[in-house]
Amino acid sequence: MDDKSARTSRWITFRRGLHIVLLVAIGAWWALFDSHRYSALVPKVALRFPQFDPAVLRLLLFFGVPAGAIFVLQLSCYSLDRIFIGRRWTSTDVLRLGFWRTVTPTVTLLFVATGFDAMYDRRLMGILWLISAATLAMVATFRLRAVEGIKLQRVKSGELYKRAFVMAKEMRTHLKRVYVVPAGRGHLSNAYGLSESIAVTDNYGKFLDRAELDFVIGHELGHVKGKHGRKKLLIMTTVFATLAVICFFFPPALIRFRPLLNLFLLLTPMLTFYFFSRCFEYAADKSSVEFTHDAKAAIRALDNLYNFTQAPTHCNRITELFLTHPSLEHRAAAIAGIAGSPAENSPELLAQSRDG
């Protein structure tokens, strides 16, 4: 790995670590704000700003302090992306990316915390806060992806279109649409399995051969066939409903344990989402490899993708808990297992894939 690639890999690793720190910090902020030791702050501030209702002032403090700090931090990170990853973001792009990246997950999680606070007090208004959080998360995610340059362009002809529909028929997957996504200023290199449709960035042909592209298409068709998007939505709805019930019936006598429970309430949905997301990635890999019968091409495709994006090929266990995709090493080991090779042989298979 040359110096530039190593620098890019280190920056991506740093960004992943920072993401974890920020999630924990939001939970810690809620716990601190909810503790008796910190509750005196609002009355003190209210004395200086008597024109504000204390309840409104509390919300302004609760949302404003972490959102403002994290917004500035996100602006810095996206600005540095232009140096370390070569993103061609404009200043306007950086502002928009920083804004929507602050909305999700920071502001969204603060909505969740406010909803759970209301459920603690057995106020059904908490349900409205949780629904608002879900709506805000979806809107912010779509807006963030749009700013990053994900613009779906439907195709009705061409090699990708024909191959996708042939494979969908053979895999018994209902496919309606195929999209191509321009790589754009964000240097996007990804593929997406949507509801009855798939999307692939237009630069995949630069570093994947036909067998490797078949694996990528099969992987996304695996997501479509498994209805993974819908399942994640159902799982998250169930998790939040369960946690809301826990808050609603939380004994007032145990109020001193609420700050600790707050951390659990915010981190559990996130960790659950990441866990099932990784499980679905393994399932999609398995579906594709069982169809193509070419484990080496699958590993080679993943390796080429990681090389092209200069993303780290491995990470520690804590970091992976907060990732939507497993590390390359773990995916290669799982694919090796599907092919009937012991998982410990996956490094050799990965080396063979690099040799062609």
The CATH number for 203's domain is 3.30.2010.10
In a domain, 214, yes or no: yes
Across 107-123, average pLDDT: 94
In this structure, is residue 325 part of a structural domain?
A: no
Is residue 343's pLDDT more than 60?
no
Asked if the structure places residue 172 within a domain, the reply is yes
Out of 50-59, 207-216, 334-343, pick the least confident: 50-59
The DSSP call for residue 124 is T
The model's confidence at residue 78, banded by pLDDT at 50, 70 and 90, is very high
- Mean per-residue pLDDT, 81-96: 89
Residue 43 has pLDDT above 70, yes or no: no
Q: pTM of whole model > 0.75?
A: yes
pLDDT at 211: 93
Assess whether pLDDT exceeds 90 at residue 331: yes
- DSSP H helical segments within 151-294, as ranges? 159-170, 210-226, 228-248, 258-292
Predicted pLDDT of residue 189:
80
- pLDDT band at residue 87, thresholds of 50, 70 and 90? confident
Nearest Cα to Cα of residue 155 among 204, 193, 200, 185 = 200
* Contact (CB, 8 A) for 306 and 257: no
Specify the number of domains making up the chain.
Answer: 1
Per-residue pLDDT at 177 exceeds 90: yes
- Asked if 200 and 155 touch (Cβ cutoff 8 Å), the reply is no
Contacts of 71 (CB under 8 A, 6+ apart): 98, 99, 102
Residue 74 placed within a domain: no
At residue 220 the predicted structure's pLDDT band, cuts being 50, 70 and 90, is very high
Whether the CB-CB separation of 289 and 217 falls below 8 Å is answered with no
Give percent of the chain above pLDDT 90. 61
Q: Judge whether 178 lies within some domain.
A: yes
Q: Is residue 183 part of a domain?
A: yes
Biggest CA-to-CA distance, the chain: 71
The whole-number average pLDDT for the span 281-289 is 96
133 belongs to a structural domain: no
110/44: higher pLDDT: 110
> What contacts 24+ positions apart, CB below 8 Å, involve 343-351?
346/299, 349/295, 349/296, 349/299, 350/299, 350/303
Predicted confidence band of residue 126 (pLDDT cuts 50, 70, 90): very high
Confidence of residue 204 (pLDDT cuts 50, 70, 90): confident
Q: For residues 242 and 237, what is the distance between their CA atoms, to the nearest angstrom?
A: 9
Task: Inform me whether the pLDDT recorded for 1 exceeds 80.
Answer: no
- pLDDT of amino acid 111: 96
Write the CB contacts of 245 (distance below 8 Å, at least 6 apart in sequence): none
Q: Are 326 and 284 in contact (CB under 8 A)?
A: no
- Amino acid 5: pLDDT: 80
Look at residue 60 in the predicted model and tell me its pLDDT: 82
Asked whether residue 105 carries a pLDDT value surpassing 80, the answer given is yes
Q: Is 338 exposed, middle or buried (0-12, 13-18, 19+ CB in 10 A)?
A: middle
Q: Measure the N-to-C terminal CA separation of the chain; round to a whole number of Å.
A: 18
pLDDT interval class at 33 (50, 70, 90): confident
Distance of alpha carbon 154 from alpha carbon 198, whole angstroms: 10
Banded model confidence at residue 341, pLDDT cuts 50, 70, 90: low
Range of the domain at 171: 150-226
215 within some domain: yes
